[in-house]
Structure 1
Amino acid sequence: MTSHVTAPATALADQLPGWVRLLRAPNPGPMTLDGTNTWVLRQPGRPFGVLVDPGPAHAGHLDRIVAAGPYAAVLLTHGHPDHVEAVPTLAGRVDAPVQHAVADGTTLRVGGLTVTALATPGHTGDSVCFLVADTDGQRVILTGDTILGRGTTVVAWPDGDLGDYLTSLERLAAYDGVPALPGHGPALVDCAAAARFYLAHRQARLDQVRQVVAAGVTDPAAVVAEVYADVDRALWPAAEWSVRAQLAYLQRSDPQ
């Protein structure tokens, strides 16, 4: 029986490149863990940096973001409010373009850093990860909510799609040894290891749902009660999003 995962999917990264800085927003909760991670990427001594996921419109958090500037660009991993709510206010305080829905393969070069967008739909339809490399070959991947620092993420049906999510995890599984900087929780030492863990967990959950459906339970809320019985009930509404995504996936992949 697959149990609810609350621990990191792989080892924590105890050291990150000197051009990575975390500004964690003060919005902790069941879905946001310790709060939304806002990442600032800037080579030491370089004037401009890159800001990823400004987070909530919290005055103190915005002040810290502005103080850590200036920025050449503001990037968004996806459009959920806990990642982008600050954008309208921030636009009036920093002189940097906000990059919405960055296309796969788009490359940005700022102060010795090369940032490449990787389309990773699944959690949401617009989810993007960012592969960042410096001139010495050090790399990190900013994973938004596609891979979290603790536990697993939700497939936010109907915008999120499980088939897309599995494909995105397979793509991220190619980045062995590259640290993952998630949208929530601590940084992880190996993006690929985390992606493979997520893939195995998703397949196990899918098998559970398949068995429950075969037994005649098809109502999403009833499936949640069966499959996610070990999960805090406060998270059941989010679990139902994933269940609906799983049921839609099974309808496509397991035709009667």
Structure 2
Amino acid sequence: MSTAAAPGRPRAPLPDGPATERAVCVRAANPSPMTLDGTNTWVVAEPGSDAAVVIDPGPLDEEHLRAVVRTVEEAGRRVALTLLTHGHGDHSDGIARFAELTGAPVRAVDPAYRVGGEGLAAGDVITTGGLELRVLATPGHTHDSVCLHLPADRALFTGDTVLGRGTTVVAHPDGRLGDYLDSLRALRSLVADRGVRTVLPGHGPVLDDALGAVDYYLVHRANRLAQVETAVENGHRSPAEVVAHVYAEVDRSLWPAAEMSVRAQLDYLREHGLI
């Protein structure tokens, strides 16, 4: 879910096929101002393995779900496991049908989205068909958001925590800005310490400068927070007033999403005694 442009970040072409040695994107046909080019469903497998992991089946779109299955099968593989980065419908609505098509369990933080599978928690290491994925809890966009580190490709699946274009919404009241800032800092540490180069997002293009992307998000969030604080000091009290003042350059179709982020920012400022 995007509310702002992010100029100057190096990026690879829009994903619709192989993105790294182990990751292939199948993009859903659900483009919108909130989903950018559509939801990126990721098929991940170790070279030579007959087992694949699917990340974020996407919307309940039969054509898309079957395209994901076809992508797996044409590579001589089967879907062994499905993972969910968070529970928003553009990532999760297709879960039940996808489980029917594949027979594979679904693992998610929120029990409501699990199908015959375990949960996901920080520090979990998923090994399927020789593939290794490491789970990093990244709440903030939603309470149940996770990112998945693919060490072998020095890559990171970020769901909606970091997008391929623009910046994400803190989906108040489920999302909390303090949690989101902590998650971005944790991502920065992971990226810097583990040499992660590539961001494989839930929407938009692949980014080939992971550290630059996370740093941009941290700076953007700090700037927006300062703008909101100043707006309140200047008498813009309601979330709608703050949006009109701070997000004036953003397309008005995105103002409802921006208002969610503003509500999260106002809560954060109140919690820290800044307004």
- The TM-score with structure 1 as length reference comes to 0.93
Q: Which residues of 2 match residues 9-24 of structure 1 at below 5 A?
A: 10-13=9-12, 16-24=19-27
Q: Which moves more between the two structures, 62-71 or 163-172?
A: 62-71
Q: Is residue 54 of structure 1 aligned with residue 21 of structure 2?
A: no
Q: Which moves more between the two structures, 234-243 or 102-111?
A: 102-111
Q: Which residues of 2 match residues 8-157 of structure 1 at below 5 A?
A: 10-13=9-12, 16-69=19-72, 70-101=78-109, 102-134=120-152, 138-157=153-172
Give the structure with the higher percent helix: 2
Distance 1:122 1:162 in 2: 6
Deviation of 1:251 after TM superposition, in Å, equals 0.1
- The TM-score with structure 2 as length reference comes to 0.87
Unaligned runs of 5+ in 2: 73-77, 110-119
Tell me the equivalent position of 1:249: 268
Deviation of 1:218 after TM superposition, in Å, equals 1.2
Q: Percent identity?
A: 50
Contact 1:107 1:117 survives alignment (8 Å) = yes
Deviation of 1:9 after TM superposition, in Å, equals 6.6
Write the deviation string for residues 86-134 of structure 1: whole angstroms up to 9, x where unpaired.
Answer: 0011111102110011111111112232111100000001000000123
Contact 2:19 2:25 survives alignment (8 Å) = no
3-state SS of the aligned residue for 1:92? helix
Deviation of 1:5 after TM superposition, in Å, equals 3.2
Tell me the equivalent position of 2:4: 5
Deviation >2 Å, runs of 4+:
7-10, 13-17
Deviation of 1:8 after TM superposition, in Å, equals 5.8
Distance 1:17 1:97 in 2: 24
The partner residue of 1:161 within 169, 176, 179 is 176
Q: Which moves more between the two structures, 57-66 or 157-166?
A: 57-66
Tell me the equivalent position of 1:239: 258
Deviation of 1:210 after TM superposition, in Å, equals 0.5
Distance 1:144 1:45 in 2: 26
Distance 2:99 2:44 in 1: 18
| CA pair 128-161 structure 1, distance change in 2 beyond 3 A | same
Distance 2:173 2:61 in 1: 29
